[in-house]
């Protein structure tokens, strides 16, 4: 089973490859998705990493409050997105 990990306070210059390399030290990374602004295309400073359960827990414990690119990362298990009312 895989687990989605929220990674916050990323430097705007961070790439998916850099984040994958950071998390790969703790196990196999299934996917990395950095969130960018729809209008500008610029990174928004957070993203999601998907890993297997046991490896994900080890990565969360090791990387929360870790210094990456001069920023202190916030790393925890991603929570499901809350349902939103339709926009019309």
List pLDDT tens digits, range 30-44: 999 999 988 988 889
What is the DSSP code (8-state) at residue 26? T
Q: What is the edge-to-edge ordering of all strands in the sheet holding 2-8?
A: 29-36, 43-52, 2-8, 74-77
- The residue ranking higher by pLDDT, 20 or 43, is 20
Q: Is 60 helix (H, G, I), strand (E, B) or coil?
A: helix
pTM reported for the whole predicted model: 0.87
């Amino acid at each position: 089973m895989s687990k989605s990990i929220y990674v916050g306070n990323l430097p705007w210059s961070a790439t998916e490859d850099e984040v994958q390399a950071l998390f790969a030290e703790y196990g196999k990374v299934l996917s990395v998705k950095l969130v960018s602004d729809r209008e500008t295309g610029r990174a928004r400073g957070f993203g999601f990493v998907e890993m297997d359960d046991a490896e994900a827990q080890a990565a969360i414990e090791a990387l929360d409050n870790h210094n990456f690119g001069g920023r202190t990362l916030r790393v925890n298990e991603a929570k499901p997105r809350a349902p939103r009312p339709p926009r019309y």
